[in-house]
Structure 1
Amino acid sequence: MLLALRLEQPVLLCGEAVPVDRPDVAERFEKEMLLALGNRSQVILWLKRTARYFPYIEQNLRENDLPDDLKFLALAESALRMHAGSPKGAMGVWQLMPQTAINYGLVVNDSFDERRNLYLSTPAALAYLKDLYGRFGSWNLSLAAYNMGEEGLEAEILEQGINDYYRLYLSLETQRFILRILAIKRIVESPGKYGFSLSAEDLYPPETFSTIQIDAFGDLPLRLIAGAARTDFKTIKDLNPELRGYYLAAGARMVNIPENGRSGFQTRLAAMIEADAKIRNQRVYLVKPGDNLSRISQKFDVPIAALLIWNRIGVDAVIQPGQRLVIYPATGEKMTAREAIQDDVDQ
């Protein structure tokens, strides 16, 4: 193991030398290597996921004339997990903060969080990295700024009078950051050297899907999109991790669906939307005095959580007499929604 930690010089990251001849830098690197290698299950997941996502990232790096080593930043930030989040509010594979994502053209709101989508967030993250390099003129400093914020790094450079990442006193997290990326690079590029032997069959295959445009005139249930795509709700959510909740917000939107669901999709979707509208009109319940969500849920034998989803209301919502709720009763319903409305009319 100790032999595997030794580095032949020069050691490069993004084409820039890492001064591993300095004892403090060598120690920081060895620490990151040992921590990474101590979590073998995590390394195996790194290796398996790189086969699925690195080809897309590498293509974008080439097209933007950026160092290939930047792909290891994504592993360091999120282990290539779409829904990775931080206590500070960073999200997605590239761990972008909300305002940074918005500044670089991503949508972050109650309906969409495009930071969660690798194919949407990668161009934004690379544009941000390119701007950081233009600002600092060094990839080591640019990656440090990516981790701690550009203004914070600039303040430290001004105060300490040093613009060498390896000589700057920064937060412990940022002091580790570049060496962690280097450790990940060394392990992923030579897994056999560290005892990892995976065959091509062990790796996760790249994702395959078709992208179609949906023009929604109102909020559209994702279950209808799934049905029209001849798949399930989970598959639509997995292929479109930026979609939040159970509905596609009104407007024009590009959505990923399974390739085998593309043919005839728009026709099936239009028919399902029309059928669902008719069903919803027949499933409207008029709230009566004394009603609450718990009582209505028992009356129609459906979970309260389902009522919240169908009617786009929060768990703390207070319903009022005369309010209309859409309800899809369970098989053993005690009373149909149409009968419930008719009771009100007869009274």
Structure 2
Amino acid sequence: MQYNKLILCFVTLASITLSAMHGDSSETMRPAQFPALISSVHVSGPLDFCGEIVELDNPEVRERLEKELLLTLWDRPQIVLWIKRSKRFFPIIEKMLQEHNMPQDLKYIVIIESALRPHAGSRKGAIGFWQFMEATGRRYGLVINSEKDERRNIFRSTEAAISYYKELYELLKSWTLSAAAYNMGEQGLQSEILAQKSNNYYHLYLPLETQRYIMRAISAKIILSAPEAYGFRFTEADLYPPLQFDRIRLECFQETPIAIIAQAADTYFKMIKDLNPEIRGHYLAAGSHWLLIPRGAADGFHTRFKVLVNQWLAESSERVYVVKAGDNLSAIAERFNVPLPALIIWNRLAKNKHIHPGDRLVIYSDAIELEEGKAGE
């Protein structure tokens, strides 16, 4: 009896707490405002993907699409992020697709590939907005090395994806098949087309991932084309604003700290990295680069940059230390009174990097001059 009273007390307290938590916002949380489950998975035609009809009159196709639509709607926080990010990145992708006379629906491929995240990665090694594998990215002109990975650049990766899709469409004569080939590879898809004697995507038996791939893209299109129908209501202020930037060309005659570029652009290190996610590490490699900097910062940038670089070169006391037997990074950092993370950054070392006698380390510190002086006494 006492136990039952305790349970009743707990339930009452929980109800009061939840009511207090909702407060004035309870109006926006009413279940009645969300679409009924049956309407959420009911897709009315006609429906197309890249201008090609989706065969909703085929029960198997409808079942696959409704399954993906339902699974997608289940992850509502992810959809919220899709919608918020789309305001930032879709205008860039849409403009580039239009310039190349490509179907606008291809932008939904980016949604299902990376959720519009530049640093998205897969277990197989695909990276960036369009999830290019390294070899494929290089094939379509992307720079991928220890200093830069253009798969993370929205402009360069979209250019590469457009080139790839053009080739796929020329080969397959169907945007739906082209998207399937983008997922599983053109050779694998062509083999299935020949073996099954059908070039209709909806009639092909393909790997499960590819069977789901187009349906996931169509589900993203359905939801993002009419988010209000699925309970997603946003004001303009809720969405992430489009990127605001100036584009500059920068010549670096040697490796240059990104911190200096940030100073010249009147901003901070993270902003430069966020606008240029393809840059790896803390330095920009020697050579010519196109960079994005905050809107308005281009005016006078090169003058400020030249002054800052010259000042950095004059002030930095760069010396080379030759690793000796028994040395380790922590001991070297302590010896020259420099932070261990700085020593790692200066020398582009992995955190678990092992050094060996004879290795040469760059150290920006007057302490090394003292060490050299002692050695000469």
Question: For the superposition of Structure 1 and Structure 2, which TM-score range results when normalised by the shorter chain?
Answer: over 0.9
Moved over 6 A (4+): none
Q: How does 1:254-293 map to 2 (within 5 A)?
A: 254-281=290-317, 290-293=326-329
Structure 2's unaligned 5+ residue stretches are 1-36
Name 2:225's counterpart in structure 1.
Answer: 189
Secondary structure of the corresponding residue to residue 250 of structure 2: strand
Shift of 1:322: 9.1
Aligned partner of 2:333: which letter?
Answer: S
TM-score, normalised by the number of residues in structure 1: 0.92
- Measured in 2, the distance between the counterparts of 1:239 and 1:296 equals 35
Deviation at 1:271, TM superposition (A): 2.0
Whether 2:114 is the aligned partner of 1:52: answer no
Which residue number corresponds to residue 79 of structure 1?
115
Structure 1 gaps, min length 5: 329-334
Q: Deviations over 1:94-129 (max 9, x none)?
A: 111222222222111121111100011111101211
Q: Which has the larger radius of gyration?
A: 2
State how far apart, in whole Å, the 2-side matches of 1:183 and 1:322 are.
54
| 2:355 paired residue number | 318
Structure 1 residue 142 displacement after superposition: 0.7
Partner of 1:332: none
How big is the shift at 1:282? 5.9
Give the equivalent residue in structure 2 for 1:151: 187
Q: Distance in 2 between matches of 1:58 and 1:210?
A: 20
Mapped pair 1:18 → 2:54:
yes
CA contact (8 A) 1:280 1:326 kept: no
- 1:26–1:273 Cα change, 3 Å: same
Matched, 1:339 2:359: no
Q: CA deviation at 1:159?
A: 1.2
Match of 1:327 in 2: 364
Residue correspondences, number: 340
Q: How does 1:181-260 map onto structure 2 within 5 Å?
A: 181-260=217-296
TM-score, length-normalised on structure 2?
0.85
Opposite residue 265 of structure 2, the aligned amino acid is A
Q: Is the contact made by 2:68 and 2:219 (CA closer than 8 Å) also made in structure 1? A: yes
Task: Supply the AA of the counterpart residue of 2:288.
Answer: A
Q: Distance in 2 between matches of 1:18 and 1:172?
A: 18
Q: For 1:261, what is the secondary structure of its paired residue?
A: coil
Question: Cα offset for 1:217?
Answer: 1.2
Q: 1:282 to 1:67 in 2, by over 3 A?
A: closer
- In 1: Cα distance, 2:204 partner to 2:95 partner: 33
1:102 and 1:108 in contact (8 A); partners too: yes
Q: For residues 175-226 of structure 1, what are the alpha-carbon distances to aligned partners after superposition, in whole Å with 9 as ceiling and x for unaligned?
A: 0011111111010011111011111110111001111111111111111111
Q: What displacement does 1:151 show? A: 0.4
SS in 1 for 2:249: strand
> What's the % identity of the aligned pairs?
47
1:170 aligns with 2:201: no
Give the partner amino acid of 2:126.
Answer: A
* Conserved 8 A contact 1:288-1:321: yes
Question: Offset of 1:283 from its aligned partner?
Answer: 6.1
Q: Could you tell me whether the CA contact under 8 Å between 2:245 and 2:294 is conserved in 1?
A: yes
1:62-77 pair list within 5 angstroms: 62-77=98-113
Whole-angstrom CA distance in 1 between matches of 2:106 and 2:360: 54
Counterpart in the other structure of 2:158: 122
Shift of 1:257: 1.1
